[in-house]
A and B are shown apart, each in its own frame.
Chain A
Amino acid sequence: MSKTARLLQRALARFNSEIGKAVAVAIAYFIGAEIAFFIGTLSDRIFAPFWPPNIVLFCALVLVPWKRWWIYILAVLPAHVVAELGVGMGALQLLVAFATNVLVAVLNAAAAQRFVGEQPWFCDVRKTWLYVLITALASPAIVALAGAFVPILGGGSLEDFGLHWTQWFASNSLASLALGPIALILLTEASFPLRPALRTVEAIVIGTALVVVCAVAFEVSAGTVESGFLPALLYSPLPLILWSTVRFGSRGASAAVLIVSAVLIWRALNGPSLFIAGDPETNVFALQVFLIGFAIPVILLGAAVEAARRAERTTRDSEEQISFAATSANIGLWQHNLLTGDFWATDHCRRMLGLPADAPLSWEAIGSAVHPDDRDMLKDAMLAATQNSVPAECEFRVLLPGGVTRWMAARAHAAYDEEHRPVRLSGLVADITARKSAEHQIELQRRELAHLTRVSVVGELSGAIAHELNQPLTAILANAQASQRILAKDAPNLGDVANALDDIEQASSRAGEVISRVRKLLKKGDSRLELVDVNELFRSTLKLLHSELIGRRIRVHLDLAEDLPPAVGDPVELQQVLLNLIMNASDAMSSIATRRRVLTLTTRTTKEGFMEGVVSDQGRGIAPDQQGRLFEPFYTTKEHGLGLGLSICSTILNSHGGDLSIVNNETGGARAIFVLPVYRAMAAAK
């Protein structure tokens, strides 16, 4: 029940608002008819020169869905009857007139909705053309075939059908041009206030001037015709019409058309006019043709001006929006015209680069803001963007006034003409200082942690390192004491002493090497990039681990590629990786039979400009539940492990542009595979 009631209520409310609108349309229809009657005609046998009621109905229908058209058609019927009875029209004639009026409005509305498309119509030349074709030409021409019968029913002669057709057509066509556009614009387009007030004044001045000029221009006496000033007078409203159109777009154009039409018809019907030469029918028709011919180009011109204005506004809006969004995102935008050399940048872009807001822009000005070390790189990137059709990117430092350095990322791309010549380079600048400093902090922490774990590895290896030192020291001591004994003899063999001294020298440098290897591992310093021979790094790491591996009864099998290209990296950090991987592999074999304890170290070049190193053991391998967690910090399977080894190896390799993975061997045990970019690849990429 309540649901039905609610539905009923809603339907009533809708109907009420619909009825309100319908009544308003009916009143407008009536007023339109009265205006037409007020203007009057030159002859009793012809219609008003233009007939507004049809346009009132057409506008109503265009703006509502076709399912509700019947409401408006019914609503204007009483208005039609009252208006036509007021001029004493017969019942049948009145009904036929109504039918043709409705028909032209319906045909106009249906065709316009179907073919012209979405409103607004008068800011698009194509849509305006279609509007003119449908409502001012095709539709009135068709309906006029029926409309011509209205005067015939009122007593006119059938022989005058052609004349009636022309009159009916012209009055509807003229109404579509003089009234339709301005009415639809006012009804459908959001009215923007005329700001500043000066614009309002301008509109009023043009309107008033146009009324006056038209009134004077069309007040033509026979004298004017004879004096030959007629063409000049006829053209006198033109500047005002163009002014209105250019300044106010389609509004200005359609308002001007309405004013010219109204004044001209008023003048023509109420006094001496341009159109006085023929009989009244011909005079009115000539007037209509004159107005139709004048209105169509003006309305089209208005649409063209409006389209250009809107396009300009859209461009300006989107430029403003982009500029606002870019500034909000702390991004600067710039553009360099390669043909004219013109440089443009957002104010924010200038601020980011520390350039004054009014100084002329050039590559030299920008270059002076960039850190001297980064200038060439930036220049190369911009040159690359001009030459390649892919956007170029580069990160550089900017020296701001006051000695502040900030990191920027630039991205640029070029636009090309038809012959594929670069014509424009445009791009953006983003401040990435925060990211860079976070990256720097992370890098510092990573290095700190790497150093700490190196210290801990050296601690673990202290016994083995002591042994490595003991060997040369033993040799030195024994050689020295042997020399003393030889020299104490009666006939010392000095050759033997010389040999012993040579051996002492060799052993000393060997001891020195051990110490320097350990010192390098313990030293805390800036990461430095060098060409690193990974094979050599493997060998020197094995020297460091020599005693440790002997103590653990591990045999080492080396399978190193002979033509391995050098990698680029920090040798200490990379040695730490090897140390860690070898120690892990050794730990993995601590509980298996000694004869199976074989450590295999392999290097090889992989196809994509990378090299691969493999540390393979014969231990128990990785359990499936450990597989995913190996690189997690603090995850360890060892009793005394910190759980940082592999996670640090992985971050070290990643920071070198490499990668670490650990998989089980098919024949038992596991292998750690690390990948590093080789120098050749880097050279090729550059």
Chain B
Amino acid sequence: MLSQAARIAIVDDDASVLKALSRLLGSCSYRTATYRSAREFLDSLQHGMPECLVVDMQMPQFTGLDLLHHLTRQGIRIPTVVITGHDEAAIRGRCEAVGTQAYLLKPLQGEALIAAIDAATGRQQAGDAALVPRDRD
């Protein structure tokens, strides 16, 4: 990509969360694309891959985890940051198994999200130290 800012895809069924996260990342000069559902996001892939995927776990029908599995099966690898309201060890383990770079709990700190995205996309502005403390226990 030629643009100076990375393109971040945000998937969350909650419009207000989607809008807020997009605004937050925008204020840090990220280019964002927002999707209300996993399916909407998958449809967008034919127009190009995002640099990073920020995805919510709890979505009706097609959940965040379903999406990660789907991408793995299709052989699509996108650096991913999972955001969730539930800190469930089992789900977390499964997310990591499919190569999730970061696992963040809602409500999330802007700093942590940006650090996680940077770490996932290899921008490395903040370095490894900025990764979420919960990244690896």
Contact = CB atoms under 8 A, between A and B. Distances in A.
Partners in one complex: yes
Contacts of A474: 17, 20-21, 83, 106-108
A507 interface: yes
A467 B86 contact: yes
A438 interface: no
Given A470-B85, A471-B14, A550-B60, A482 B20 contact: yes
B86 A463 contact: yes
Contact of A485 (B14, B28, B60): B28
B61 interface: yes
Given A485-B110, A496-B23, A506 B16 contact: yes
Contacts of B86: 463, 467, 551
Interface in B11-47: 13-14, 16-17, 19-21, 23-24, 26-28
Contacts of B24: 478-479, 481-482, 485
Interface residues of B, number: 26
B61 A553 contact: yes
B67 interface: no
A289 B86 CA distance: 121
A506 to B, nearest CB: 7
A656 interface: no
Contacts of B23: 478-479, 482, 496, 499-500, 503
A550 B20 contact: no
B109 A477 contact: yes
B109 A550 contact: no
Given A478-B20, A481-B109, A485-B110, A471 B85 contact: yes
Contact of A482 (B14, B83, B109, B110): B110
B58 interface: yes
A500 B13 CA distance: 19
Contacts of A411: none
Contact of A467 (B19, B58, B109, B110): B58
Given A473-B106, A496-B23, A478 B17 contact: yes
A409 B51 CA distance: 79
A610 B17 CA distance: 41
A589 B14 CA distance: 25
B60 A555 contact: yes
Interface string B88-112: 0000000000000000001111110
B59 interface: yes
A213 to B, nearest CB: 116
A446 interface: no
Most interface-central of A475, A479, A507 (chain B CB within 10 A): A475
Interface in A388-438: none
Contact of A472 (B16, B19, B108): B16
A479 B24 CA distance: 6
Contacts of B17: 471, 474-475, 478
Contacts of A549: 60
Contacts of A550: 13, 58-60, 63
B137 to A, nearest CB: 21
Given A471-B17, A507-B16, A478 B59 contact: no
Nearest to A504: B20
B109 A503 contact: no
Nearest to A488: B27
Interface string A565-582: 000000000000000000
Most interface-central of A473, A474, A485 (chain B CB within 10 A): A474
B20 A475 contact: yes
Contacts of A466: 85
A21 interface: no
A547 B13 CA distance: 11
A326 interface: no
A495 to B, nearest CB: 12
Contacts of B63: 550, 553
Interface of B: 13-14, 16-17, 19-21, 23-24, 26-28, 58-61, 63, 83, 85-86, 106-111
19 contacts: A467-B58, A470-B106, A472-B16, A474-B17, A474-B21, A474-B107, A475-B14, A475-B19, A477-B20, A477-B109, A478-B20, A478-B21, A481-B24, A482-B110, A485-B28, A503-B19, A510-B16, A547-B85, A550-B13
Interface of A: 463, 466-467, 470-479, 481-483, 485-486, 496, 499-500, 503, 506-507, 510, 547, 549-551, 553, 555
Given A510-B16, A550-B60, 17 more contacts: A463-B86, A473-B106, A474-B106, A475-B14, A475-B16, A476-B20, A477-B109, A478-B17, A478-B20, A478-B21, A478-B23, A481-B109, A486-B27, A496-B27, A503-B19, A506-B16, A507-B16
